[in-house]
């Protein structure tokens, strides 16, 4: 990361790249840029490193794309459940619940466009370099990186805004290519497929030479994986503006109702894109030329990245590089919660910028090793020891833990009076994603058991490879999953990628965003009610399966023994004198016979308000009629607003009003914004 920061300073010092505040107006490559920077491989590399540095910006992977914009899904919540900020149109919290408006300064695309412009400038500069062919061995991989970086920028723009302005060249000095309207996402995705296909031909495999020896540089496997992911999005479902693009060659979703010209659709040739995804992932899985493999320990992935180390098994295809004390909030805003204490210092750590809930916890098999790595009910308190939490609506993600952090970070944190940049890299793609994308794409094209000769395996074998790590070799549970293979993929991706900014996008492209979130909300309410059986993913729980009281013991003076906790058993009494107890959520939210506690009303209300910006309108009266206190909950819920009043499946952000104003009439908002 130090080299990337250094090269970023070179770019700033030379003044080669700069972006103004005006719409897409960005300075084109200067004379110094075209004649000097891309004239030598070393300066061309400096330009590329500057683009890597840009990715650490707060409005890119420094915070927004990695943390704040994860949003609500069936496994993640955006700053928890709330009756106040859920529909805010001036915060990331409201945007995460699918409420937004053109004046929300927290959902601006400017920095992503600056990122795209830097990449386009490099693409043009390298293509036009006088040494592009004579020094091809050095220059072509740099072009591959630039093309991939630009594809990353535009794939994120489409993911969060839908149809957006798209240009594959740097801004011209006369601004003739700056002002433009929205480009159909279908055209954008086709362009990204072209760029990534070209980039793959130039990029080396990781560790095939000294230049590409770390996952902090883009290499061939990541570019192929990104192409697969872009293809899955291109062939997936999304909300579309039929008023702006009335002649799109797409099929409409069979069950999601069109409103005001806005509908959910996908391209009719979606199988062509799935074929691209299947082929690219198969080529990675079937190749012996790269060093990528699954880390045998799921926990070790997170221990090593928290400790600022590279993964020994090269599971991480690409990591956005951050610098300790310089940039990056990975871990400090989400993860294992730490209060002010004398061991770690007065500053807290972790938190609920992204959190989860009991529904996701109980979706895991109790023997799945990913459960207790991904989630925790414990936090580290002011008394220098763990405490047990029982809030079903706020279960912490735990892939980033303070006791896994580097000694250098801990030393800084101990004396800090403000937040310290953790320097923890953001893992953008892991090898398990290659297995699961292959399993998904290939199974949709053929069948779960059809062997792909390039990959040397079937989709089912790829799925079970990921499950083998979760349960251990030889476990019977490797083969115990939903008999509907697509459902099995949907579930497996939830268990594998919790809090990695993947789930919401997956649900969107599957056409399942509304359905899965509503299932989570209603099931979570029924879990709190604890009167009827509930189905969570592929598991069914009886009311008696959830304990009334949790018993736990400490394994030492600081940490609770996770294996001692009776998550699935309703014990009649304490197992021993060394155990402590706490009322579980099934007991703590029961309507009191006296007093003023409103938890039994407020918790279900908070849950049902979540993510209600997705659809036009909501009505929970029928559902609540089946709950013990449903009438009171309905009356409580009635005081709050729900629904966006314009369309269904509103997955996108609004375009910021200044960007519309400065577009000279080329841009307008869609989806009722």
Q: Is residue 213 part of a domain?
A: yes
What lies within 8 Å, CB to CB, of 560 at 6+ separation is 378, 386, 388, 552, 553, 554
Q: What is the pLDDT of residue 34?
A: 57
Which residue range is the domain that position 75 belongs to? 2-219+233-252
* Beta-sheet pairing, 378-380 with 77-78: unpaired
Buried b (16+ CB within 10 A) or exposed e, 462-490: bbbbbbbbbbeeeeeebeebeeebeebbb
Q: What is the pLDDT of residue 252?
A: 98
Q: Is residue 459 part of a domain?
A: no
Residues β-bridged to residue 499: none
Q: Is residue 125 part of a domain?
A: yes
pLDDT digits (tens, 9 = 90+) for 520-537: 999 999 999 999 999 999
- pTM comes to 0.95
Q: Is residue 303 part of a domain?
A: no
pLDDT digits (tens, 9 = 90+) for 396-445: 999 999 999 999 999 999 999 999 999 999 999 999 999 999 999 999 99
Q: Is residue 27 part of a domain?
A: yes
Q: Is residue 272 part of a domain?
A: no
Please tell me the distance from the alpha carbon of residue 94 to that of residue 82, in angstroms, as a whole number.
10
Q: What is the DSSP string of 92-159?
A: HHHHHTT---TT-GGG--HHHHHHHHHHHHHHHHHHT-TTTTTTHHHHHHHHHHHHHHHHHHHHHHHH
Please tell me the distance from the alpha carbon of residue 514 to that of residue 649, in angstroms, as a whole number.
7
**Count of domains in the chain?**
2
Query: Mean pLDDT, to the nearest integer, of 615-620?
Result: 98
pLDDT digits (tens, 9 = 90+) for 538-578: 999 999 999 999 999 999 999 999 999 999 999 989 999 99
Residues β-bridged to residue 550: 582
Mean pLDDT computed over every residue of the chain? 94
Give me the CATH number covering residue 167. Answer: 1.25.40.390
Q: Report residue 596's pLDDT band, with 50, 70 and 90 as the boundaries.
A: confident
pLDDT digits (tens, 9 = 90+) for 15-35: 344 444 455 654 444 444 556
Q: Is residue 429 part of a domain?
A: no
Q: Is residue 336 part of a domain?
A: no
Contact 394, 355 (CB under 8 A): yes
Residue 237, pLDDT > 50, answer yes
Compute φ and ψ for 583, nearest 5 degrees: -70, 130
Please tell me the distance from the alpha carbon of residue 233 to that of residue 499, in angstroms, as a whole number.
19
pLDDT digits (tens, 9 = 90+) for 240-273: 999 999 999 999 999 999 999 999 999 999 999 9
SS3 state of residue 273 = helix
Please tell me the distance from the alpha carbon of residue 612 to that of residue 596, in angstroms, as a whole number.
28
């Amino acid at each position: 990361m130090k080299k990337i920061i250094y090269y970023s300073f070179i770019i700033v010092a030379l003044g080669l790249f700069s972006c103004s505040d005006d719409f897409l107006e960005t300075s084109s490559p200067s004379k110094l840029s075209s004649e000097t920077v891309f004239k030598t491989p070393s300066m061309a590399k400096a330009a590329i490193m500057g683009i890597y540095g840009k990715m650490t910006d707060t409005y890119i992977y420094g915070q927004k794309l990695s943390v704040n914009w994860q949003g609500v899904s069936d496994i993640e919540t955006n700053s928890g459940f709330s009756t106040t900020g859920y529909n805010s149109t001036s915060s990331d919290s409201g945007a995460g619940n699918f409420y937004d408006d053109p004046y929300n300064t927290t959902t601006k695309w400017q920095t992503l466009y600056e990122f795209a412009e830097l990449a386009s400038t490099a693409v043009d500069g390298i293509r036009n370099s006088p040494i592009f062919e004579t020094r091809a061995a050095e220059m072509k991989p740099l072009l591959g990186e630039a093309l991939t970086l630009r594809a990353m920028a535009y794939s994120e723009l489409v993911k969060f805004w839908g149809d957006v302005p798209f240009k594959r060249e740097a801004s011209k000095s006369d601004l003739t290519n700056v002002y433009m309207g929205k480009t159909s996402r279908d055209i954008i995705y086709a362009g990204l497929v072209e760029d990534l296909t070209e980039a793959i031909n130039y990029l080396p495999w990781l560790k095939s030479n000294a230049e590409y020896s770390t996952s902090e540089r883009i290499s061939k496997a990541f570019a192929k994986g990104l192409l697969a992911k872009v293809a899955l999005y291109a062939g997936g479902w999304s909300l579309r503006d039929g008023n702006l693009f009335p002649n799109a060659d797409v099929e409409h979703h069979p069950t999601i109702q069109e409103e005001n010209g806005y509908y959910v659709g996908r391209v009719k040739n979606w199988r062509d894109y799935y074929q691209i995804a299947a082929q690219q992932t198969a080529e990675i899985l079937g190749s012996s030329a790269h060093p990528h493999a699954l880390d045998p320990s799921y926990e070790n992935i997170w221990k090593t990245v928290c400790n600022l180390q590279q993964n020994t098994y090269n599971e991480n295809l690409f990591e956005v590089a951050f610098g300790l004390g310089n940039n990056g909030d990975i871990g400090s805003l989400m993860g294992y919660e730490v209060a002010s204490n004398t061991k770690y210092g007065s500053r807290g750590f972790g938190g609920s910028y992204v959190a989860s809930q009991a529904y996701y916890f109980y979706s895991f098999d109790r023997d799945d090793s990913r459960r207790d790595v991904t989630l925790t009910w414990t936090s580290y308190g002011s008394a220098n020891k763990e405490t047990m939490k029982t809030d079903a609506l706020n279960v912490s993600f735990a892939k980033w833990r303070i006791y896994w952090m580097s000694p250098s970070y801990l030393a800084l944190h101990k004396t800090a009076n403000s937040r310290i940049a953790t320097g923890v890299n953001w893992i953008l793609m892991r090898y398990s994603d290659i297995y699961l994308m292959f399993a998904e794409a290939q199974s949709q094209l053929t069948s779960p058991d059809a062997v792909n000769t390039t990959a040397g395996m079937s989709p089912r074998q790829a799925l079970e490879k990921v499950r083998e790590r979760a349960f251990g070799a030889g476990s019977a549970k490797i083969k115990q999953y939903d008999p509907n293979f697509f459902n099995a993929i949907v579930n497996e991706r939830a268990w594998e990628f919790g809090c990695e900014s993947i789930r919401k996008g997956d649900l969107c492209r599957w056409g399942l965003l509304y359905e899965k979130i509503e299932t989570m909300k209603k099931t979570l309410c029924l879990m709190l009610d604890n009167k009827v059986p509930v189905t969570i993913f592929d598991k069914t729980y009886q009311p008696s399966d959830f304990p009334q009281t949790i018993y736990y013991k400490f394994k030492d003076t600081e940490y609770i023994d996770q294996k001692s906790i009776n998550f699935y058993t309703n014990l009649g009494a304490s197992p021993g004198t060394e155990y402590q107890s706490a009322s579980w959520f099934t007991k703590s939210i029961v309507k009191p016979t006296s007093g003023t506690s409103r938890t039994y009303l407020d918790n279900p209300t908070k849950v049902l308000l979540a993510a209600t910006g997705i659809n036009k309108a909501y009505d929970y009266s029928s559902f609540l009629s089946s709950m013990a206190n449903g009438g009171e909950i309905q009356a409580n819920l009635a005081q709050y607003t729900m629904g966006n009043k314009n369309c269904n499946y509103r997955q996108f952000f609004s375009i910021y009003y200044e960007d519309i104003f400065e577009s000279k009439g080329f841009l307008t908002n869609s989806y009722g914004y």
